[in-house]
């Protein structure tokens, strides 16, 4: 009997919490748009997401990503080979190696780069990613993929976030 009473009280409390949350999220849309800092921030966010998505396939974006991985490492992709440390080479060398890596997937580096990039790649990166860039049978990321995994994941994240923002603004009548 006590148990039943307890459950009943719990249900009442939970309903109270749910109800207050629900009320909060269904604010008057008109009042919401009038002086809404959150809406402006979200509109800016949406614009930034769109701008990044528009650039995501460009050689400049991809080069920036590769240089960033060479400089700072990578630890989110989950490969058998473990994580990649940053700083195997200087930032200047990273830029030319990045061009070489970009061209492994059939794209064209937008600026000329020294031919010794290939030698740098083979001696510093090839041990893990393979001299052909294919990642030694799946133990390391395949650098010859049409879209690098990190970029593919970023694109998915950006699209998901954009959908979320759109859904929210539709719900609030903006
Ligand atoms: C000791 C092994 C090792 C070396 C050396 C190494 N990497 Fe990596 N690299 C990895 C691993 C492991 C990952 C994935 C890490 C993770 O889980 O995020 C990775 C990730 C990457 C990625 C991201 C791949 C993607 O699909 O998004 C790039 C680009 C990359 N490495 C380029 C290089 C370049 C260029 C060099 C040489 C300067 C290099 N790596 C040297 C092991 C290595």
* Cα of 100 from ligand 1 centre, angstroms: 14
- For a ligand 1 pocket test, name from 69, 121, 153 the mutation site with the most ligand atoms within 8 angstroms of its C-beta: 69
12-63: pLDDT as tens digits: 778 777 776 666 555 555 555 556 888 889 999 999 999 999 999 999 999 9
pLDDT higher than 70, residue 2: yes
Considering the domain architecture, whether residues 89 and 119 belong to the same structural domain is answered as yes
Considering the domain architecture, whether residues 65 and 138 belong to the same structural domain is answered as yes
Considering the domain architecture, whether residues 130 and 62 belong to the same structural domain is answered as yes
- On whether residue 14 sits in a domain, the answer given is no
User: Which atom of ligand 1 is least distant from the CA of 149?
Assistant: 26
**What DSSP designation does 173 have?**
T
Considering the domain architecture, whether residues 90 and 117 belong to the same structural domain is answered as yes
pLDDT at 52: 98
CA angle 123/126/127 to nearest 5° reads: 90
- On whether residue 6 sits in a domain, the answer given is no
pLDDT higher than 80, residue 162: yes
Determine whether the shortest distance from the Cβ of 99 to ligand 1 is under 6 A: no
Place of tokens 């830029």: 95
Cα dist from 118 to 27, 62, 95, 98, 161, whole Å:
59, 18, 12, 10, 38
9-13, 18-22, 123-127: which is most confident: 123-127
Determine whether the shortest distance from the Cβ of 84 to ligand 1 is under 6 A: yes
Considering the domain architecture, whether residues 171 and 153 belong to the same structural domain is answered as yes
60-119: pLDDT as tens digits: 999 999 999 999 999 999 999 999 999 999 999 999 999 999 999 999 999 999 999 999
Q: What residues make up the domain containing 109? A: 58-146
The whole-model pTM stands at 0.82
Considering the domain architecture, whether residues 103 and 117 belong to the same structural domain is answered as yes
pLDDT at 155: 98
pLDDT at 8: 79
Determine whether the shortest distance from the Cβ of 113 to ligand 1 is under 6 A: no
How far apart CA 122 and CA 127 sit, in angstroms, is 7
Long-range CB contacts (< 8 A, 24+ apart) of 70-79?
Answer: 70/94, 70/97, 70/98, 74/150, 76/150, 76/153, 77/141, 77/149, 77/150, 77/153, 79/135, 79/138, 79/139, 79/140, 79/141
Concatenate the DSSP letters of all residues of 44-62 into one string: HHHHHHHHHHHHTTSHHHH
> What tokens does 86 get?
């940053």
Determine whether the shortest distance from the Cβ of 59 to ligand 1 is under 6 A: no
Looking at the structure of the chain, the number of domains it has is 2
- On whether residue 1 sits in a domain, the answer given is no
**% pLDDT > 70, the chain:** 90
């Amino acid at each position: 009997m006590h148990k039943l009473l307890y459950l009943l009280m719990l249900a009442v409390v939970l309903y109270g919490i749910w109800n207050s949350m629900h009320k909060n999220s269904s604010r008057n849309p008109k009042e919401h748009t009038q002086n809404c800092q959150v809406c402006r921030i979200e509109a800016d966010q949406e614009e930034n997401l769109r701008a990044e998505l528009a650039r995501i396939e460009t050689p400049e974006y991809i080069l920036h990503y590769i240089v960033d991985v060479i400089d700072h490492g990578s630890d989110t992709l989950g490969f058998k080979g473990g994580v990649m440390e940053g700083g195997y080479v200087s930032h200047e060398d990273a830029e030319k190696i990045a061009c070489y890596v970009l061209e492994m997937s059939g794209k064209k580096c937008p600026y000329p780069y020294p031919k010794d990039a290939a030698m740098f790649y083979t001696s510093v990166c090839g041990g893990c990613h393979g001299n052909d860039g294919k990642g030694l049978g799946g133990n390391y990321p395949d650098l010859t993929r049409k879209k690098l995994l990190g970029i593919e994941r970023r694109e998915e994240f950006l699209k998901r976030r954009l959908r979320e923002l759109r859904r929210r603004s539709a719900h609030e009548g903006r």
